[in-house]
Amino acid sequence: MTIAEKNSPLLTAIHSDLESLFYRRRQEGKTQNPSVYIDYGQRKAADESGAEYAVQIEQPVYFPGRKELKQLLVDNDSKIKEIQQIEAFNSIRLSSIKFAYRYLVAADKKNHVKERLKRLSLIESYIKARPFFTPQAKTDLFIIETKILALRKHFNDLELGAAKDYESLNLYLRQEFVPNLKIPYFRSGVKFDRKDLEKKAVSQNPSILAAKGELDKARTELRLANLEKYPDYSITSQIGEDKSGVANRFYDFGLKFRIPVWDQFQNKVASAETNMKSKQDRLIYQENLIQTSFNQSFLEYEQSKMNLKLYDLTQLDRIDRDLNFADMEFKRGRIQLISYLELENQLHETHHAVLDAQISHLESLLNLLYITNEKDILGVMGNASQTFEYQPK
């Protein structure tokens, strides 16, 4: 997880976005620059001409509260971006764990099929080595050869799946070589308090927090829209001199502003009000959606814990014992090939079911942690009974 966080360009990009918003907020708080108007010319009065000049300075001023609302609007954007950062942070950590497990489980399945191929190849050699090659033996050989062909196809599929899972994992790790991964399998799951977990999902889920952030932003936009009919103004000051005839110097102050006669921005206010109503409805929708997703995810997790007990890890030991027993009894001629292959196939399916139960449990657990925006992922996973005894070789 540490490597995934460190090497993520997405987190770096979001950090840059937050830095950009920081400077944008500072810019919104700046006082507007003044403008200067300089005038010079000749003026004639009573048959006397002379120079005339004037200097005017104009300082724009925001209507009270407008600058603060613009800064608040940037704060709203920053809050939404921070929620996106938290969501991306957790998503990267959870995804790196998920694909690490998928990769190792796929490798474990691949190794198991490789052992099956070796075992069936030995059976094939044993049948070929029989002194009397009867029609029954020939039929058995056909069955074995067909089984080996199907297993090789299955092995190739698993190899492809493992390679794709590694590429998905490496999206987060960005490593040139396959890292040495060591992860535990689960003996049992985590016992959660459903009510506490549900409250956490509703109060801390990133989608709900983002929807609340969008609603806060819409409120700020509405407040800004209501201020539009109150225009910004400018304070003006002018100094000048007219030398045509009797010299005349002047100095004055003034106030300049727009008069909202033709446009009082009712449409902009109505648009902002409608947008805020839309964000309120979206928040309600997100809360309902997360509530439904949580209920489904909790049911899936409880079911995955049951499957974890049903296909517990001790089944892997039993599979090895049963396969060794079947090998020995077949070579002694005490069981038929059909019975041997049926048992071997059932044990293979059980092996895959045990590993699938591990993946199902892990992914349903990670889904719950994502919905509740859990930050202490390893701490929660540590509450489950784990073992490295069956670490893939």
Please write the tens of the pLDDT for every residue from 267-294: 999 999 999 999 999 999 999 999 999 9
Q: Are 182 and 391 in contact (CB under 8 A)?
A: yes
From the number of C-beta atoms within 10 Å of its C-beta (0-12, 13-18, 19+), residue 279 rates as: buried
Q: Are 215 and 76 in contact (CB under 8 A)?
A: no
Q: Residue type for 262, please?
A: W
Residue with tokens 């694909």: 99
* Helices (H), ranges, the chain: 2-6, 9-28, 66-128, 135-173, 194-204, 206-227, 266-310, 314-331, 337-371, 377-381
**Distances, alpha carbon 277 to alpha carbons 15, 228, 254, 261, 288, in Å:** 31, 20, 42, 28, 17
Q: Please tell me the total number of residues recorded for the chain in this structure.
A: 393
At residue 245, the pLDDT reads: 66
* DSSP string computed for 226-270: HHTTS--EEEEEEEEEE-SSS-EEEEEEEEEE---SS---HHHHH
Residue 184 has, within 13 A of its CA and on its CB side, a CA count of 13
Residue 168 has, within 13 A of its CA and on its CB side, a CA count of 17
Q: Are 253 and 235 in contact (CB under 8 A)?
A: yes
CATH superfamily entry for domain 2-30+63-228+265-387: Outer membrane efflux proteins (OEP) (1.20.1600.10)
At residue 364, the pLDDT reads: 94
Among 158, 180, 172, which Cα is nearest to 105's? 158
Among 83, 85, 81, which Cα is nearest to 11's? 85
Residue with tokens 């925001």: 62
**Number of other CB atoms surrounding residue 378 within 10 Å:** 9
| Residue segments in the chain with a per-residue pLDDT below the cut of 70 | 45-46, 132, 245-247, 391-393
As a whole number of angstroms, the distance between CA 324 and CA 92 comes to 42
Backbone angles phi, psi at 386, to 5 degrees: -125, 160
Residue with tokens 């535990």: 184
As a whole number of angstroms, the distance between CA 163 and CA 158 comes to 9
Q: Are 80 and 272 in contact (CB under 8 A)?
A: no
Segment holding 78, helix H or strand E: helix 66-128
As a whole number of angstroms, the distance between CA 318 and CA 350 comes to 10
As a whole number of angstroms, the distance between CA 335 and CA 205 comes to 58
Residue with tokens 């399998």: 185
Among 94, 104, 106, 109, which Cα is nearest to 183's? 104
The DSSP 8-state label assigned to residue 65 in this structure reads T
> The tokens of 15 are what?
């950090």
Render pLDDT for 148-184 as a digit per residue (tens, 0 to 9).
999 999 999 999 998 999 899 888 888 877 777 778 8
β partners of residue 241: 53, 249
At residue 69, the pLDDT reads: 94
As a whole number of angstroms, the distance between CA 126 and CA 213 comes to 71
